[in-house]
Each structure stands twice: as C-alpha cells, then as structure tokens.
Amino acid sequence: MIKERRTSTVLAAMCGMACLGANIAMADGTPVAAPSSSSILYIRAGAGGTTCADWANACPTLPRDFRRGVTYYIAAGQYLPADDDFAFRLDAPAQSGMAIVIKKATAADHGTNDGWQAAYAAGAATFSRMLEINSSNWVIDGQTGGSALYRWKGDFGFRFVSTAEGDAMIRIGWDSLHGVPVSGISNIAIRHAEIVGMGQSSHSGGGTSNDGLAVYGATDVTLSSFRMHGIGRCPFFLSGQNIVIEHGWVESFYTGDTHAELASIWGFADTFGDVTFRDNLFTDIQSTGGIMWSTKENPSARLRIYGNTFYRPAGATWPAANGLIGGWTAEAFSNVTVYNNNFVNVDQASLSNAPQIHANNHAYDNLFYDSRAPDFSSYDSHDYNLFIRAGDAQAEPSGVAVENGADPFIDAAHFDFRLKAPTWAGLKMPPADDGKDPFGQQRGGDGNWDRGAFEYRQP
C-alpha cells in the first residue's frame, strides 16, 4: 500500500510556522526528537567560527562530515560546498535510524539566542551546487514558503541552484564522484525549497542531467512545498519506492538536444515501486509531455495522481506529444489512479492514449475546464468526472457535462483554483486514500465530495 503522509505544510495551516520546530518527521512519518542544545550546530555564510556551537561561533558552510543525531541551523546567505567541492555531499553513514536535520533558521525557530541577529532569518539560504544525498535518514526543511497556502510561492527558506549540464539540483542514490549508484537509501524528506535549474535546455542526456529531483533507487522519499523553475531537463527523474511529490509548483523546464518530460518514472535503478503526486500545480509541459509512467520493470508498481492542477496559462505553448498523464508507446502503462484533479485550458490529451499496453487504470472526480475532451481509452473505469466546456460526459453514468458553463474557479489566472460554488457530488474515495484537498481540508466534510482538486469552502 502507498504510504500516505501529511507533512509540515498542513501542520503550518493548523498551528502556524512557529510550531514546525516541534513537528519534524522523516519521510516515513517517524518523528524526530527535539534536539538538545549539545546536538545543535550553527552555519552562517561569511562566519569565521570552527566550533559551530552558537551564532557567534557559527561555521561558514555545511561540513563535509556530518554527525548523526545533530540538527544544523542555517542562516540566510549563499553557500558553496566545503573545499569548493562539485556538490554538497550528504553521505554520512546511517546509524540506528538517527536522522540528520538541516533547517533554515527563522525568527521563531533558530536554536540558541547567543549571537543571534534578526538578519540571519531574512531571505533564503541558497546552495549554489548540486545537493547529492547518498545515505539514509535526512530531513532538509526550509521551514517557509510553497503550497497552495502561499499561492505556490512565498519566501522559501532554502534555494537549491545547479547550472551545471550534468548536475541535478537534488540527486539521491547516485555517486557522481565515481559514477555509480548507491543502494539501500531510505527516509529522505525535503520541504520548503525553491529549486532552480540552468534556465535553458541541458545538452547532457542519458542517466544524468540538469534534473530537478533525480532518484536512483531510494525508498521513502518526500519532496514537499517547493517551486521548480528553469530546469534543464526533467523536473522529476524517478526510480524508487514510496516517493511522494506534494504541495509544489513546477513553473518551467526546458528541452532541446535531449528529450524531456515533466516526470520520467520507470525502473532505471535497482528499486522501483509506488509513486504519488498530490496537491501540486503544473504550469509547463514540454517535449514528451507530462507525468510519464512505465511498469515494465515492476508490473505491480502503482501511481496515484490526485489533488493536482494542470493549468496552461493564457498564451503559453505546450507541445503536444504523449499528453499530460501517460507513458511511452511500447511500454506498459498500468495501475494508475487519477482522481480529484483539475485540467484547465489544456489544448492536448489530458489522459494519453499513446501507451499500447495498459491495464488497471481508473479516473474519477476530475474537473476538466475549457479543455480538449479527454480520451479514456487507456482506462478500465472512469466516472463522476465534470466536463465544463470540455466535451460531453463520455457515457459516464454519473459524469456531468456543461457545454457553455462559467469559469468555476475564483481566480485561475492568479493560481487561485478554489471553487466559487460546490460541484455535483463526486465519488467518495476509499479510506486508504488521502481524503484532503491542497489546503488540508477534509473532502466531503460538508456532506458533498466535490469534483476537482479543491473542496468548496464557505466564504
């Protein structure tokens, strides 16, 4: 079963950003104990300290040798790896499940007050090389920014920037120094981060490139509350188990000498299994298309896509290829559930018919607005979808089509996809699925399970 986890974004909605210091958890949901003063170290760009014991004696950059069970607070500023290495290498050997926590310092959560200055919280901590993670149990938390709560933007605590042709912004499970995969990695959680690529198409293709998040066989990986833009190839290049991508915005990526897609998900590493995309905003599609999925290497792997909004902004050009959710022509496209998503102003196939091999795929409770009519030929079942200026109801017993319906969203042009009014009742999904919209609101809490990504809220 896919592990469904709510993360710090929803905690923030319930109790404010100041509470996050007490609610750190690893990607599999395991709580991380609040650190003692002896297990906290401090990093500040331009500092001259060597003990890292407080803000007055902070160290100037992340260490090469991390210590297990330690929380590292990071001040605003720009950072390069120790010894000007090619990457920030996070590879401290795992130890009895002990996590290493890297947190952006905020006014409310910065550890000791010794040597603290308010300026240390002002702005992002920017890491100007690839982040390469090759061991287990890491929590990397920028603490602020991202998700629908902040209209997908906000002031992100962390910025990960990589402009090198063959370097991802975040790479997990691949030793670039030796050019080999690293197996057995698990429990990686990355939250509240702006992820910035080279701003043009990478000329490096194949196994490594200027990808946003690249996972080579890791288990229990969560990327939450993020914004990606300028990615040189694929925002997501994924082969792993229990990967969750949530509460983020993919703004732009590029293709040219190499083909790309929003997400390239297939078994190119030794581990490949369940993947979930939930509560995200996607405003760019290039090359092969959107979320591309193949179960050739693991016929039981499952893909869940829910709570997302695929929105083509006015004037944007999306090349038409394999559609927004689909796969490759000769690959197996199986075990996909697409429900409670928005497809807005889409001028190509929302649901692709490109894969010639398909089975056990289902689509429910989606909202198609001002878009090309979807093609369900790769889906075994579909119903309770809402089509507004998006073709007919496709013979769905409980589908609803409104040929000349009004815009159902409060302000789509400014990324506010809340509903102006409740929709026709959708199909309540089983309890094993998440059951919350991108704001953390319980679906069907008012007695009506709305169609589309967002539950209606009373003004």
Report, in angstroms and rounded to the nearest whole number, the Rg of the chain calculated over CA atoms. 22
Residue 213 and residue 236 in contact, taking contact as beta carbons nearer than 8 Å: yes
Over 90: is that where the pLDDT of 255 sits? no
Residue 320 and residue 353 in contact, taking contact as beta carbons nearer than 8 Å: no
Residue with tokens 């992100």: 156
Over 50: is that where the pLDDT of 167 sits? yes
Measured distance CA(164)–CA(128) in Å, rounded: 10
CA 258 to chain centre: 23
Q: Token pair for residue 314?
A: 């006015």
pLDDT tier, 139 (very low <50, low <70, confident <90, very high otherwise): very high
Percent of the chain residues past pLDDT 90, beyond the cut: 83
Model pTM score:
0.93
Quick one: average pLDDT of 367-376? 97
pLDDT tier, 432 (very low <50, low <70, confident <90, very high otherwise): low
pLDDT in tens, 84-110: 888 999 999 999 879 999 999 999 999
Q: Token pair for residue 169?
A: 């912004």
Residue 378 and residue 326 in contact, taking contact as beta carbons nearer than 8 Å: yes
The amino acid present at 100, given as its one-letter code, is I
pLDDT at 452: 98
User: Which helix (DSSP H) or strand (DSSP E) does residue 418 occupy?
Assistant: strand 416-419
Quick one: average pLDDT of 205-230? 94
Measured distance CA(405)–CA(402) in Å, rounded: 5
Nearest to 130 by CA among 82, 164, 181: 164
Over 60: is that where the pLDDT of 66 sits? yes
Measured over the CA atoms of residue 59, residue 227, residue 285 and residue 219, the dihedral's sign is positive
pLDDT in tens, 276-288: 999 999 999 999 9
For 298-317, letters b (16+ CB in 10 Å) and e give beebbbbbbbbbbbbeeeee
Nearest to 263 by CA among 227, 308, 194, 212: 212
Kindly give the pairing relationship between strand 409-411 and strand 416-419. antiparallel
